Amino acid sequence: MTKVYYDGDADLNLLKGVKVAIIGYGSQGHAQAQNLRDSGVDVVVAELEGTDNYKLAIEHGFKPVPAGQAASQAQIIQILAPDQTQAVLYKNEIKDHLTEGKTLVFSHGFNIHYVQIVPAANIDVIMVAPKGPGHLVRREFERGAGVPSLIAVRQDTRGRRRRRPLPMQRVSARPGQGSWRPPSRKRQRQTSSASRSCSAGVFQSLSGRGLIRSSRRAISRRSPTLNVSRTEAHR
């Protein structure tokens, strides 16, 4: 069953004193890393030295480090590298640093759905998925608005359930304009994959129908966060 959460449902105190590692400074990485930092969260960025994204992270005030170093420092590790690189990156640099109680975060369910990444049972695994490209996520955040987001819980080791996904999505995407019916993890993966092939046209169409811009006046401070139930997340 669909449930809508708002800003007031997210306890930002849960992120105080917690370091978040953003692995990959691409489209979503640059947006969510900056949004988290600008919300007062301690953020460390991982990116390959010498790449354009590495240089961009430096321009944005970060000091990029290797993925393994970032994962070892952080309590929350969010993998925002391209789907096709995530499994190898996880195995070689991240897995050994996921000690008990840490949280692994994705913004796209491909590698979890297709069992390319199988996290240990003693860590939390969640999805925080802003429904928009990174440049839009960042732009909307900067103007005090946001984009709709989906959250899902794959593994919940300590009964925290949605306590950590909610503040993470609030500060990384500040979801706002309009509402979105959350699909299952399988559907989220399928729709996200499809959108990468035709994102510009689809997004323009959705915006034209008011699904992205709608109701800003009414919900500028009560922005919906859409949740996928635990049952759906395992399908």
Query: Do the Cβ atoms of 166 and 225 come closer than 8 Å?
Result: yes
pTM given for the model = 0.76
Given its phi and psi angles, is residue 181 left (phi above 0), alpha (psi -120 to 50 degrees) or beta?
beta
The residue among 92, 94, 69 whose CA lies nearest residue 80 is 94
234 noted as active-site residue:
no
Give rounded-to-5 percent helix, strand, coil for the chain. Answer: 45, 15, 40
Catalytic residue from among 108, 113, 135, 234:
108
**CATH of segment(s) 3-233:** 3.40.50.720
Helix axes 165-173 and 134-142, enclosed angle (nearest 10): 80
Per-residue tens of pLDDT for the chain, all 235 residues: 567 777 777 788 889 999 999 999 999 999 999 999 999 999 999 999 999 999 999 999 999 999 999 999 999 999 999 999 999 999 999 999 999 999 999 999 899 999 999 999 999 999 989 989 999 999 999 998 888 888 888 898 877 655 567 777 777 766 443 334 344 545 545 444 444 433 333 223 222 333 223 223 222 334 444 443 333 333 3
Q: Are 140 and 174 in contact (CB under 8 A)?
A: yes
Query: Using an 8 Å Cβ cutoff, are 36 and 43 in contact?
Result: yes
The dihedrals phi and psi of 79, each to the nearest 5 degrees, come to: -90, 110
Backbone phi and psi for residue 227, each to the nearest 5 degrees, phi listed first: -110, 140
Token pair belonging to 225: 């966060």
DSSP codes of every residue in 27-50: HHHHHHHHHHHHTT-EEEEE--TT
- The rounded distance, in Å, linking the Cα atoms of 70 and 184 is 30
Domain definitions of the chain by residue range: 3-233
